[in-house]
């Protein structure tokens, strides 16, 4: 069978998910909170009435309309749904696969930008960040000028570094880009700024968000907003019925209870600042600025610290191998108050 499988696929590593049963799971930037019991009961009753014997129909159009209102979609724009942001990234890559096409993104960044580009046969150019995880604007502008990319991805905040970038640098890259610029705002519920005004000002800017960090990681709803002619073309590639009736209805229910999720996001932001304070008090730990629901921290030995925390029942992400700039870095998702206390105790004991 190896003869019929592409060699580049045989040579690559699949996306690894760490076993987490029985652990304090703070490794994948999930919202740690469930809905209150009475709302979970209402959701269960609502999902039980769905016609699972039918394909999804116009209900996804209702979800598109509700998400457009929730995101304050500007005039002249449209919205498309994806099975998480990952599917949207794949569809964008496929849509922009013209001869000589290049994809540019800062590194370290979200792995799917590079993976989707390379699997589609596009050239990927990763531009390293500075040692403080800021955009290297001269290097980014030089890469844009040289490669004339079809796609530029700017995660805002970035994963795994968790920071918002300098706005003047972001705007300069957008102005220079000849193709599409995707502002990936997966962590927007926890950030101080967003790119809605950039979407209004620039016809080639797309805004990509997800309901995963909102609180529905298990539901897999991503959405892409851009000018109607662009969305029309990309949407041609979307598989029919890519959003299940269960996922669609769960997302609609969540949008009816945005106040509850807003309270959860506020708690996560407050806990993030509390953790930052704890980390700054540790002499051997360097935490970096965060506008997401995760914190990047450098420790003396990330492998040993990761293993020590895991042995104590706390699962974080060792990202040191992802990029040289991340040497000895751990990525810590903000959990519940109780989980965060367990995390800091495990970290102190594992340094």
pLDDT tens-digit series, residues 255-289: 999 999 999 999 999 999 999 999 999 999 999 99
pLDDT interval class at 4 (50, 70, 90): confident
* Tokens representing residue 168 in the block: 């003047």
Is the four-CA dihedral 148, 153, 156, 158 of positive or negative sign?
Answer: negative
Class of domain 53-255: alpha beta
- Please determine whether the domains at 2-30+259-350 and 53-255 fall in the same fold group of CATH: no
Could you report the per-residue pLDDT of 99-137, keeping only the tens digit for each? 999 999 999 999 999 999 999 999 999 999 999 999 999
* Tokens representing residue 24 in the block: 């304090």
Q: What does the H/E/C string look like for 174-225?
A: HHHCCCEEEEECCCHHHCCCCCHHHHHHCCCEEEEEECHHHHHCCCCCEEEE
Q: Which residues pair with 126 in a beta bridge?
A: 105
Please state which of the ranges 56-60, 216-220, 314-318, 330-334 shows the lowest mean pLDDT: 56-60
Helix, strand, coil percentages (3-state) for the chain, rounded to 5, are 45, 15, 40
Q: How high is the pLDDT of residue 20?
A: 75
pLDDT interval class at 1 (50, 70, 90): low
pLDDT interval class at 17 (50, 70, 90): confident
Tell me which fold the domain 2-30+259-350 belongs to. Answer: 3.90.1150
Among residues 303, 302, 282, 297, the alpha carbon closest in space to that of 345 is found at: 282
**In the chain, what are the domain boundaries?**
2-30+259-350, 53-255
């Amino acid at each position: 069978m190896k003869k019929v499988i592409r060699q580049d696929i045989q040579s690559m590593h699949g996306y690894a998910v760490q076993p987490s049963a029985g652990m304090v799971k703070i490794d994948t930037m999930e919202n740690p909170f469930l809905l209150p019991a009475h709302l979970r009961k209402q959701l269960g009753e609502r999902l039980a009435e769905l016609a699972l014997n039918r394909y999804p129909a116009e209900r996804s159009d209702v979800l598109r309309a509700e998400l457009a209102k929730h995101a304050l979609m500007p005039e002249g724009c449209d919205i498309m749904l994806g099975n998480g942001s990952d599917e949207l990234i794949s569809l964008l890559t496929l849509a922009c696969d013209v001869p000589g096409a290049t994809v540019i993104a800062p590194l370290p960044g979200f792995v799917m930008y590079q993976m989707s580009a390379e699997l589609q046969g596009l050239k990927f150019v990763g531009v390293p960040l500075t040692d403080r995880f800021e955009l290297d604007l001269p290097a980014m502008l030089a890469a844009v000028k040289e490669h004339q990319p079809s796609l530029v991805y700017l995660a805002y905040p970035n994963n795994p570094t968790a920071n918002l970038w300098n706005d003047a640098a972001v705007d300069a890259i957008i102005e220079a880009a000849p193709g599409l610029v995707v502002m990936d705002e997966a962590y927007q519920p926890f950030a101080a700024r967003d790119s809605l005004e950039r979407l209004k000002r620039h016809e080639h800017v797309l805004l990509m968000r997800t309901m995963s960090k909102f609180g529905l990681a298990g539901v897999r709803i991503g959405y892409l907003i851009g000018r109607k002619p662009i969305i029309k073309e990309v949407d041609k590639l979307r598989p029919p019925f890519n959003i299940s009736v269960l996922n669609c209805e769960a997302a609609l229910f969540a949008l009816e209870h945005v106040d509850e999720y807003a309270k959860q996001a506020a708690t996560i932001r407050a806990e993030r600042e509390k953790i930052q304070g704890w980390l700054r008090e540790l002499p051997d730990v360097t935490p970096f600025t965060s506008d997401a629901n995760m914190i990047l921290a450098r420790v003396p030995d990330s492998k040993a610290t990761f293993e020590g925390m895991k042995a104590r029942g706390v699962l974080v992400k060792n990202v040191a191998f992802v990029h040289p700039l991340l040497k000895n870095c751990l990525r810590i998702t903000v959990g519940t108050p109780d989980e965060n206390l367990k995390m800091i105790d495990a970290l102190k004991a594992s340094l």
